[in-house]
Amino acid sequence: MAEVERALFDHAVSPSPYVTEAARHLLSAGGKRFRPLLVLLAAEAGADPGCEGVLTAACVVEITHVGSLYHDDVMDEAALRRGADSANSRWDNHVAILTGDWLFAKSSELTARLGADAVSIQAATFTRLVEGQILEGVEPTGDPLQHYLDVVAGKTGSLIATSARYGARFSGTSPEVEEALTAYGEIVGSAFQLSDDILDIVSDSEESGKTPGTDLREGVPTLPVLMALASTDPADARLLELLRADLSDDALHAEALGLLREHPALDQARAYVVARAQEAKALLDVLPQGPVRTALEDFADVVAVRSS
C-alpha cells in the first residue's frame, strides 16, 4: 500500500499550487484506503499482481472515491471529514465542488491509460454511483428497505465491485475469476456500508472515532432503523414514535438510541451483514485454496464485524 499511497499524491498534482493543495486535502486526511486495498488483494489471484496497470487502477478507484467525498460534504453541509475540516468548510462550496470535479477528471485521465475497456467500466461505475446518490434523496415508492439497499449498491457497492474487477483484470486472471471477484466486491462493498449503519448505533466514540447516532439524529434511514420501523409489535410503539420524530433534541435522541440498541432489529441487521459476507465468500470457490483465497475470505469477515 505504500507504493499506492505515494502514487496517489503524485497524481494529485496541478500546475497551480492552490489546486494541488485542495486536491490533496482529503487525501492527506487519510482514510481506510478500502478500495485500493481490494484492487491489490484481487490482483493476487492473477499472474502479474505487481504490474503497473494494477497500481494505476488502485489510484483510479481511490481518486474517484475521494472526489465523491468532496461532493458529499457539500450536499451534507459537513464541517468535518476524516477528523479534518471538510473542503467546503476550509474554503467554500464552490472550491469543494470544483475540486471534486478535478479529481474525477484526474481519475478519467488515469483510466484512459488502462485502455478502452477500463474507460467503459469506469463510466458505467460512475453512472451507478451517481444514480445511487440521486436515489438517496428520493422517497421510495415500494419497500423502503429494498430502496435503501439499492441506494447502497449504487453509492458504495458499484465502485468496490470495480475495484475487485480491476485487480483481477489487470493482473491477468481468467474471465471466470474476474466475474466472481466482481460479484464478491459488489456484495462486500454493500456490506461495508451496512456495517457502518450498525456502527452508527453501537459505536463507542473513543474506539471507533464515530459519534454514536449521527445518522439517527439527522434522520438518515439505515439498516437497523428500517428493520425496526418494520415492526408490528405494540411494545415498540415508543421507539417507532421516536424514529419518526425530530431527534435534534438531545434527550429524545438518547432515548431513541438506547431503545434501538436493545431492539431485535440490531441483531437482525448484524445477521444480515454476516450473511452477505458468507454469500461473498462462497463466490471465492473459483479460487484454489491458499493464501489469496484466505485473505479475501478474511477481508469479507472483517468488513462484516468491524468496530471502526
Q: How far apart are CA 225 and CA 219, in angstroms?
A: 10
Q: Where residue 286 falls among pLDDT bands split at 50, 70, 90?
A: very high
Other Cβ atoms within 10 Å of 120 Cβ, number: 11
Query: Which is more confidently placed, 29 or 282?
Result: 282
3-state secondary structure of 85: strand
Helices marked H in the chain: 2-11, 17-28, 34-43, 52-76, 87-90, 93-113, 116-136, 144-152, 158-171, 175-202, 205-208, 214-218, 223-229, 237-243, 250-261, 264-282, 291-305
Q: How far apart are CA 152 and CA 146, in angstroms?
A: 10
Q: How far apart are CA 7 and CA 52, in angstroms?
A: 11
pLDDT at 40: 97
pLDDT at 210: 53
Q: How far apart are CA 104 and CA 262, in angstroms?
A: 42
Find the distance separating the first CA and the last CA of the chain, reported in whole Å: 20
pLDDT at 208: 43
Q: Where residue 205 falls among pLDDT bands split at 50, 70, 90?
A: low
Q: How far is CA 253 from CA 55, 199, 238, 242, 248, in A?
A: 44, 16, 13, 8, 7
pLDDT tens per residue, range 100-116: 999 999 999 999 999 99
Res 308 pLDDT > 70: no
Listing DSSP states for 184-219 in one string gives HHHHHHHHHHHHHHHHHHH--HHHHSS-TTHHHHHT
Q: What percent of the chain has pLDDT over 70?
A: 95
pLDDT at 94: 86
Show Cβ contacts of residue 84 under 8 Å, excluding neighbours closer than 6 positions: 25, 26, 28, 29
Mean pLDDT, residues 42-54: 96
- The alpha carbon of 289 is separated from its chain's Cα centroid by a whole number of angstroms, namely 28
pLDDT at 262: 94
pLDDT tens per residue, range 127-181: 999 999 899 888 888 899 999 999 999 999 999 999 999 999 999 999 999 999 9
Res 14 pLDDT > 70: yes
- For the record, the C-alpha cell of 211 comes out as 459519534
Q: What percent of the chain has pLDDT over 90?
A: 70
pLDDT tens per residue, range 238-267: 999 999 999 989 999 999 999 999 999 999
pLDDT at 150: 95
Q: How far apart are CA 240 and CA 145, in angstroms?
A: 16
Show Cβ contacts of residue 277 under 8 Å, excluding neighbours closer than 6 positions: 187, 188, 191, 300, 301, 303, 304
pLDDT at 209: 47
* pTM, two decimal places: 0.91
pLDDT at 233: 93
pLDDT at 11: 93
Res 207 pLDDT > 60: no
Contact 144, 229 (CB under 8 A): yes
Find, among 55, 43, 52, 40, the residue nearest to 6 by Cα. 55
